Chain A
């Protein structure tokens, strides 16, 4: 049957910025057994009247079509855009990464951070905090390299994504 393979989808949802809207979206995913690989949300209008939710999910083509249709049904949802199928898009996330160590490990951490263009935003005699922005796989690669050196703690934002070119979600 066509479309029975799993695929990943990055979906942008423009919503009314009101109480409970995130709970509605999350309730939809848990209630219907859909996956959430990443979810981010923040107000995007100047008057804070609308928020943009970026969801990375996975499923068969039929399930992803269902997810989009179900999101579209929610009353406070303005627009649902599947960036994965709408054309080229950019997806980025930010991570704050704490590395603890002394001696050679410190200089190795700094060298790798430089190669990945991670910024040092805090330092003590035994630790660094790096700020790194990029695609999910770039962040994953950096974390894999830091792990043997002294990776102690990570905070990641999840993915924010937008379509290339002049088209907009509205």
Chain B
């Protein structure tokens, strides 16, 4: 609507900047065409720098249709917005001094390393190798450190590996590189890494001391911090305690031997497909596909199984909605990736509930000929909701069961895509191969075990060492009753 009608409750008027203020990093309402070029340049600058985030520019209709003068972007610093990227060298020295004297160190990395660009991931690998320390990652950080590397402990947090969470719990020095002590990572805060000196590196000063009080805070860009830490590590003549570190690794190997992600897939023909197995087979098949592979996800159990069983060796190959956890993210994200990388293999690992959130985008895939693959782990439940209802709410499956799902094969066909279905274990590899072979959008409807839950699991309000392992593990043979979860924990769900 035009500028002069703002505030009149005209047709389809909404206070867009007001509505979006809480959901954007910054937003603008352009009221004069002369401001348009400057605002657009500034909007991109704000979105991409510092802690990146969405920026919205609201254009009234008269501004949209009027000619506007173009101006080149200005290279002068922004008047008020100046994110700090260069770390304080004194803090770097403090951090390195702590790390050098560590006996049970752990490096915990997050999405900040991804946001800092591929150079940050390269420097992370160099630093972790240089130190010989174990490294774990948040959901958002997967791919910054190669999953196949022996120093990688896997993902940490609510559905992280046994070894990653117990290393976090038992460490004496923790280096957080570009993560934010999210509640899904820390569990109960007052029981989080109780013996650890904590070093927190983050580009956003408001992340420091927000959830967890830390001993050393380094504000800056992850790549610049890592470069400075590598230099300081080499310059500091203090030797690391090699024997303590070896003992620590022995302990970690004991935890690793639990194989906390293991599951049992029955292979007899007619057996139901385990969701973990579907991800594992998909991973194997994509490795042989000879293409760059990008994985996006929706939100729920399928997302956690993908994070646990799909291994990422490079940054920016894994796109998922972590902190906000928005179902419906995966399909539009996959569309964007496919447009940016037309020759790549782009797969949205989805659940049957999440995919319906933005299903209309199937039409966009067909219209723009984007060969995105949608790999649905279909258990006919909003599985993560059901999992919590089962464990904590006496199996009262309120509104988490979908009794009237669409036929995804026919749905795909009606949207000009290819529809495939795997119902039994013997169908799986064939369906995956077909999906990868087709140069068109595909929905692969993988009918998986309806009762499967995501393990390991740290219930809300519990500590890292109170982790629950899956039914495969003898110590949980009696099943989990949810009795150890406090009321404080329940409200965190």
Contact = CB atoms under 8 A, between A and B. Distances in A.
Interface stretch (A69-77, A89-97, A102-110, A129-137): A69-77
A73 B80 contact: no
B204 interface: yes
A148 interface: no
B21 A73 contact: no
A75 B25 CA distance: 8
A16 B25 CA distance: 16
A75 B26 contact: yes
Contact of B80 (A20, A62, A70, A75): A75
A23 B80 contact: no
A4 to B, nearest CB: 11
A73 B204 contact: yes
Interface in B166-217: 204-206, 208-210, 213
B209 A65 contact: yes
Interface in A12-60: 15-16, 19-20, 23-24, 27, 31
Contact of A31 (B18, B22, B26): B22
Given A16-B79, A69-B206, A23 B21 contact: yes
Nearest to B51: A73
Contacts of B357: none
B220 to A, nearest CB: 15
A142 interface: no
A65 B213 CA distance: 12
A14 to B, nearest CB: 8
A78 B206 contact: no
Contact of B21 (A15, A27, A65, A70): A27
| Main DSSP-derived SS at the A contact region | helix
A27 B22 contact: yes
A78 B205 contact: no
Contacts of B78: 75
A62 B206 CA distance: 11
Contacts of A76: 80-81
Interface residues of A, number: 19
A8 interface: no
Contact of A20 (B17, B79, B81, B206): B17
A157 interface: no
B82 to A, nearest CB: 9
Contacts of A16: 79-80
A74 B411 CA distance: 45
A76 B27 CA distance: 11
Contacts of B208: 69
B128 interface: no
Most B Cβ at <10 Å: residue of A73, A77, A78: A73
Most A Cβ at <10 Å: residue of B25, B79, B206, B210: B206
A69 B80 contact: no
Interface of B: 17-18, 21-22, 25-27, 29, 46, 51, 78-81, 204-206, 208-210, 213
Closest 9 CB pairs of A and B: A69-B206, A75-B26, A78-B80, A75-B81, A69-B205, A70-B206, A73-B206, A16-B80, A76-B80
Interface of A: 15-16, 19-20, 23-24, 27, 31, 62, 65-66, 69-70, 72-73, 75-78
